[in-house]
Structure 1
Amino acid sequence: MNHRVPSTALRTTLQASGLSEKYRFTLKRYIWGTSPHSDEAWHKAEAIFQSSQHTTDDPKVACLYVVIIGMGMSANDLQKRLETLPYWQADGRNHLLMVLSHGAENNNPLLNISTGRAILAQSSFDTRQFRPGFDIILPPLYALLAGPDLQDLPPQVPAKRKFLFSFQGESGMGLSLSHYHAQLMSVLRSIATSGQESVLLEFTCSEGDSNALPRQDSPTSAKPATEWAPCGDHTSRLDVLQRSTFALVIAPHATEGSPTASVALRVLEALEAGAVPVVLGSDARLLPFGEMVRWERAAILLPKARATELHFVLRSIADADVLSLRRQGHFIWDSYLGSIGVVVKAMLAAMRTRLCLPPPPVQEEPAEQIPHRSVKLSTDGVNPEGDASDLELGPQENEPPFPSECYRRNYTIALVEAELLWNVPPGPFLLFPFSPRDPILPSEAQFLGSGAGFRPIAGGSGGTGKEFQEALGGNVPREQFTVVMLTFERDEVLLDSVRRLAGLPYLNRVVIIWNSPRPPPEDLAWPDIGVPVTVGTDNLHCPFGPHFPSSICVIRALFVNLVLLFVAGESFF
């Protein structure tokens, strides 16, 4: 059995000598197991670790040793191989044991193994074995071998589907249900027969249709007598779930307090089908990656004692909330659960998050730029008719354009916003130079110790509208912005639009997205407006990809339309 290691001991379990700034977050992998059921998952996991930027072949620089365990090893063989690992150090510190489960069964090959201070990553745990905040809960990987079929994913709308909620399953191996679950079934049947709303409940699978769970006396099984076996195959279950607004998930009564693969499987399939999971009797921390993921934003979590209110609670949820839960559920499934690749990435990101290390920076991929020439603006006829050139747009900068300060919150994000990173797109995998969620100082902070780089209005004395109009400062130090313009064979309109930007305060640069199958004419003369003008190509469906050059964090999107003017303008990241 495992030694009880509190979650606060993680930093001592992972020795600090392997976590220096020099080595960052690196790992050494070992892969065991020859079970025919786990071969495909075995090879996929090996390929993913091989391509990971965190993997090293030098164990001396690794801060984490990952052992991938298949399902074909005896307990004695597994124990011996763990103890003979070169860096096991008698208690498994700095090791992560990842188990490749191959079914909905609650297989637990490490149940009777002494793993010491090694971190366990698997789908099912015994109540005495699981260490909250230390071990990592994974989804059952066998369900992810085929990978997601994005073409078959259901649409997000409509919010309400044919069935209010659905459940299919039966007691594993035909064992009798506990009195508690028998009462629960009676309550659910009464909801189904009330006729107020269409629900689908099946507590008995057709013959040969259930995925039988292992026997209770199996040495690697943590299955209680009240476990629920899923009916049918993955495809048939998805067909029902895609017609269900909510998907009922009943946690095993005898193992409350420990994660099980069958619960994780039902939640996984519900998210894939766009059905909002309704989990009865399980804590959010017992779901996959529950330490990091805020499951309350993607699922309904209720104690079993409130099963009698289930019909009322689900009917009271507004369409907007249903779509919000469904959208967040899709993000969680797509980012952390949808394939073996994202599961491995999420597992490593969870380890990095625990150690308060920032993710690797996003790779810059500049777009292909189109050569072009610029000419000075003439003094006559510069502005097209109707231009508001007589308006005072604001003061001018006396210095050339400058880039925004980037990557200012590398370690701050890892320390204070780890939970936020995991629960909003794009997730915790990459570090970006800027974020729209970066905090902004309140106005009084400019005068109380945090004024570096700020240019307060009239030096802080305030004034009338004239002083405000002449002010260069704002709520961030030395702010400028980039203009991104999307165009399609509107040469004259585009040039007029660029001319309008001459002398615009705070303008850093202009990026032209030339979205046309033909390149710009060679004799096209771009106006020189005093700031860099970059012309590049891009896909119309993603005109603002991260691969367009921009050294400034504030972007103003301008679309050149047939009506000669800018149609929309919106700041975004």
Structure 2
Amino acid sequence: MQTRKKYIFLTFLASWLLLFFFGGDQLRRFTFFSSKKTETLRNWPHWTDRSLLQSFADAEELEGDGDPPLQSPTARRAAWLNVYKNSRCRMETCFDFSRCEKHGFKVFVYPWEKGDPMSDAYRKILTSIEKSHYYTPNPEEACLFVLNIDTLDRDHLSAQYVHGINDKIQGFPLWNDGRNHLIFNLYSGTWPNYTEDLGFDIGQAILAKASFYTENFRPGFDVSIPLFSKDHPQKGGERGWLQNLMPPKKKYLLVFKGKRYLTGIGSSTRNALHHIHNGKDIISLTTCKHGRDWEKHKDTRCDKDNIDYGKFDYRELLHNSTFCIVPRGRRLGSFRFLEALQAACVPVLLSNGWELPFSEAIDWGRAAVVGDERLLLQIPSAVRCVAPERILALRQQTQFLWDAYFSSVDKIVRATLEIVKDRLFPHRSRARIFWNALPGGLLALPDFSTRRGDFPFYHPQQGSSPSDKFTALVRAVCPVVSLSQPLRRLLQAVSTSRHCAQILVLWSCEKPPPPRGKWPQTAVPLTVIRGRTGLSDRFFPYPDIRTDAVLSLDEHTNLSTSEVDFAFVVWRAFPERIVGFPTRSHFWDAGQRRWGYTSRRTNEFSMVLTAAAFYHSLAPSPRYYHNLYTSSLPAAPRGLVDRLATCEDVLMNFLVAAVTKLPPIKVTQWKQHREPVGQQVEDTAASAGALRSSQRQDCLNQLVDWFGYMPLVSSQLRLDPVLFKDQVSILRKKYRHLERL
């Protein structure tokens, strides 16, 4: 019996082997597919479970959607490995940290050679680097290198494709197999598969790439960047479209309007989008009209789809929709992603395997809905379940992210550099919370602090408030000090404030300061420090400042102790803003087509002069706004201040407004504030005053050009301790001396 069983088993085994080796091509393919099926379904960003569509589509429609045969993640990875030999690169293995030790994080851009092709987009990237405070023209000082060869478009069918890159970079003496190099790329691969092949060996270089496939992304080394158009602005950029937060839900719940690819990669999801269209609160419109030979591939839906497509305006849909579908295009990324962010339309991402832009720093769960292409039909019910308060939070976050990192090429490049810098100096890197909340990763300088509570934006969230003391920083330019001069009176008035901790006199005169015995006796310590070269010395982060607030004063400012006390109390309630006395305004001069500057007293203002103003400091770390002014701003705007003596006020107001997106705050009534003689001269029609006003107007326009937009915000808010005369006893009032002025 046992022998019979053995013969039966051996006969069956021999038959199976003969079938497999001599006629089993189909069987081998089936066996291979079965072993890989789960992996393919999990990773490949295309429709796989077609049973989900049975109630919506004909069987004929589901057959042959025009895509090329699916390429497994293993095959995609193998193709990547063939081109990128250093696929396991990490900062610890493929980056020379020693280059960054002596001079810090400095970036060198290869000089552009005349005749080399370069797209406008890549020129914007290089310009952003060269105008940043990280740029160095000396390669010996550089920590990071950027090529002068345009690597953005690596589709060899494109007119922007640059040939022979591999031979060129190998000839660069600084190349060193790409070590410490950063390569930017927006488009890779070409028809029909659009792989991530760049057409040259990047060696050990860091790749800043759009449409990054997760399997090919090297965490902690590469940087995923957004896909942006050639028309994306160099600096500034348009503000987000969110103006009214209420109601959180708009006219349309979910919208999409775009191309429907009839063949090739990316056609699956877009071909299926019409199944969720209901013509009411869900609008999904596609057109077949793209490419030269679209009519050769048109199907029965194309004519109707093309007619419906023209009935809606794309920009209007963005304005009036709560959620916007962002499906993959030919590549994983899409221009629609940034468009949705700007419009405050919550992106619904349908691009499986996409490494989202700046994913290392940005928490996209707070601003977008990450969907699954294979579960498209569940998207409408999923977004209907999002609570109104959650929608409101998502829309607010889209505006913050757009303005902080994506509204211009300059911000995209700076975010890329800051992410790389944080990897090099982990002990001073920004926590993730800084990237996802005010002031944002580009303004939360780790050189200032890595603690949330040290920044002026987080006191309410932490249930704390700034300290009850300030440092008065008085700038003196007069060569002689006598008892009759305004400086002596100012020092005495400020020192008697119950909130004053110390007075620092910034001596900016050519002559040495008077001996200590000639300075007035004050109730608080008085220290004289010599000013640094240049007119920006007022905002240098002096280590002598050891309080949460700075009261910036000019020597001729005339203030009473009560005015100082009240202004400080107001500042403690708004520690992120400039709070002070003399105000100025900006306006758009349509006749001259430029920004105007005025010192006229009106109900509206946008600047508070630092001749008498409080703003945020912090001890023991370097002062925040001082540090931002001195360390973050490139040399160009600070050099403008050195050339135009009246520009320092304007630049500091620009900087604070750009950080906070809020106007300054004016205190006390203007009739009560006795302006110094110098200010009165400035505001008159005299030639000297006209010259100063003209200089500030020139400064205003040059700074707008540098920032790329006008950051100043106008306000009509004024905080006064006494709004009107009343019958309360003058002795019972907290700021009774102000009413007597």
TM-score (norm 2): 0.48
SS at match of 1:120: strand
CA distance in 1, matches of 2:548, 2:175: 55
**Alignment of 1:166 onto 2:181:** no
Measure how far apart 1:135 and its partner are.
2.0
3-state SS of paired residue (1:11): helix
Q: Verify the 8 A CA contact 2:189 2:198 in the aligned structure 1.
A: no
Could you tell me which residue of structure 2 aligns to residue 39 of structure 1? 119
Partner of 1:64: 144
Question: How far off its partner does 1:297 sit?
Answer: 0.8
Measured in 2, the distance between the counterparts of 1:124 and 1:34 equals 31
Of stretches 74-83 and 341-350 in structure 1, the one that deviates more from structure 2 is: 74-83
Q: Specify the code of the residue in structure 2 equivalent to 1:124.
A: S
Query: Greater CA deviation, 121-130 or 557-566?
Result: 557-566
Contact 1:503 1:529 in 2 (8 A): no
Residue identity matched to 1:163: Y
Which residue matches 1:83?
A: 170
Partner Cα distance (1:352, 1:511) in 2: 30
Which structure has greater helix proportion?
2
Quick one: which amino acid aligns to residue 318 of structure 1?
A
Q: Secondary structure at the match of 1:141?
A: coil
Q: Is the 8 A contact 2:217 2:355 kept in 1?
A: no
What do residues 39-74 of structure 1 show as CA deviations (whole Å, max 9, x unaligned)? 322332332222111111211221111125424676
* Structure 1 residue 532, shift from structure 2 partner: 12
- Check if 1:134 corresponds to 2:221: yes
Task: Identify the residue that residue 381 of structure 2 maps to in structure 1.
Answer: 312
Question: Distance in 1 between the 2:137 and 2:723 partners?
Answer: 60
Q: Does 2:562 match 1:562? A: no
Partner AA of 2:333 in structure 1: A
Structure-2 residue corresponding to 1:15: 96
Report the CA distance shift for 1:186/1:521 in structure 2 as closer, same or farther (over 3 A). closer
2:347 maps to 1:277: yes
Corresponding residue for 1:296?
365
Match of 2:287 among 189, 197, 204: 204
Tell me, yes or no, if structure 1 residue 424 matches structure 2 residue 424: no
Residue deviations 1:73-120 (CA, integer Å, cap 9, x gap)? 76651111111121222x211111113659999988952311111111
Equivalent residue, structure 1, for 2:333 = 261
Distance 1:316 1:356 in 2: 42
Asked whether 1:93 is paired with 2:179, we answer yes
Query: Against the structure 1 CA distance between its residues 549 and 180, is the aligned structure 2 distance closer, same or farther, given a 3 Å change threshold?
Result: closer
Amino acid at match of 1:79: N
Aligned with 2:202 (options 99, 103, 115)? 115
Change (3 A) 1:156 1:174: farther
Question: Match for 1:481 among 469, 488, 491?
Answer: 469
Give me the whole-angstrom Cα distance separating, in 1, the residues matched to 2:343 and 2:143.
38
Contact 1:512 1:536 in 2 (8 A): no
| Deviation for aligned residue 1:566 | 8.1
Distance 2:128 2:163 in 1: 28
1:325 to 380, 383, 394: 394
2:273 is matched by which residue type in structure 1?
Answer: M
| Deviation at residue 270 of structure 1 after TM alignment | 0.3
Change (3 A) 1:161 1:34: farther
Relative to structure 1, is the Cα distance of residues 232 and 10 closer, same or farther in structure 2, using a 3 angstrom cutoff?
Answer: farther
Query: How far apart, in 1, do the equivalents of 2:558 and 2:182 lie?
Result: 62
**Closer, same or farther in 2 for the Cα pair 1:521/1:125, shift >3 Å?**
closer
Aligned to 2:232: 145
* Higher radius of gyration, 1 or 2: 2
The corresponding residue for 2:739 is none
Q: What SS does the corresponding residue of 2:360 show, helix, strand or coil?
A: coil
Name the CA distance, whole Å, in 2 between partners of 1:316 and 1:33: 56
Aligned-partner Cα distance in 2 for 1:16–1:510: 37
Cα–Cα, structure 1 residues 14 and 509, in superposed 2: closer, same or farther, change >3 Å?
Answer: closer
What displacement does 1:12 show?
A: 2.8
Residues 511-559 of structure 1: CA deviation (Å, up to 9, x unaligned): 7799xxxx9999875469999999763565466999845554699x984
Structure 2 partner of 1:53:
133
Hey, what does 1:471 align to over in structure 2? none
Superposed, 1:182-197 pairs within 5 Å as: 184-185=272-273, 187-189=275-277, 192=278
Counterpart contact for 2:471–2:500, Cα < 8 Å: no
Distance 1:211 1:149, change over 3 A: farther
Q: Which residue of 1 aligns with 2:416?
A: 347
Within 1, Cα distance between the matches of 2:394 and 2:583?
33
Maintained 8 Å contact 2:549/2:618: no
The alpha-carbon deviation at position 170 of structure 1 amounts to 3.1
| The 10-residue stretch of structure 1 (546-555 or 294-303) with the greater mean CA deviation from structure 2 | 546-555
Equivalent-residue separation in structure 1 for 2:450 and 2:734 (angstroms): 26
* Secondary structure of 2:208's aligned partner: strand
C-alpha separation between the residues in 2 aligned to 1:566 and 1:435? 38
Contact 2:318–2:324 at 8 Å: present in 1 too? Answer: yes
Deviations 1:436-455 (A, max 9, x none): 72399xxxxxxxxxxxxxxx
CA distance in 2: counterparts of 1:102 and 1:178, whole angstroms: 18
1:161 Cα offset (Å):
1.6
Deviation at 1:132, TM superposition (A): 3.8
**Structure 1 residues 66 and 151, CA gap change in structure 2 (3 angstroms):** closer
Letter in 1 for 2:442: F
Name the CA distance, whole Å, in 2 between partners of 1:48 and 1:3.
Answer: 30
- 1:331 deviates by 1.5
2 CA distance for matches of 1:30 and 1:291? 27
1:513-524 equivalences under 5 Å are: none
On the 8 A contact 2:238/2:407 being kept in 1, the answer is no
The one of 298, 318, 322 aligned to 1:245: 322
> Which ranges of structure 1 fall in alignment gaps of 5 or more residues?
214-230, 358-410, 441-474, 485-494, 568-573
CA distance, structure 1, for counterparts of residue 273 and residue 174 of structure 2: 51
Residue segments in structure 2 that go unaligned for 5+ positions in a row: 1-82, 154-158, 295-307, 456-462, 473-489, 503-546, 569-578, 585-604, 625-664, 668-718, 725-732, 736-741
Distance in 2 (alpha carbons) for counterparts of 1:523 and 1:4? 66
Q: What's the counterpart of residue 5 of structure 1?
A: 87
**C-alpha displacement at 1:342, in angstroms?**
0.8
Judge conservation of contact 1:38–1:100 (CA < 8 Å) in 2.
no
Question: Deviation at 1:429?
Answer: 2.4
Whole-Å separation in 2 of the counterparts to 1:335 and 1:522: 37
Structure 1 contact 92–117 (Cα < 8 Å) conserved = yes
Letter of the structure 2 residue corresponding to residue 168 of structure 1: K
Show the counterpart of 1:537.
Answer: 582
Aligned-pair distance for 1:155? 1.7
RMSD (CA atoms): 5.1
Q: CA deviation at 1:145?
A: 3.0
Describe the SS at the equivalent of 2:178: coil
When normalised by structure 1's length, the TM-score is 0.60
Higher relative contact order (CA 8 A, sep 6+): 1
Q: Is the 8 A contact 1:2 1:129 kept in 2?
A: no
Find the aligned partners of 1:145 and 1:513 in 2 and give their Cα distance.
39
Residue-by-residue CA offset, 1:187-239 (whole Å, 9 max, x unaligned): 424xx26x5xx12111325x45x8999xxxxxxxxxxxxxxxxx999x95333
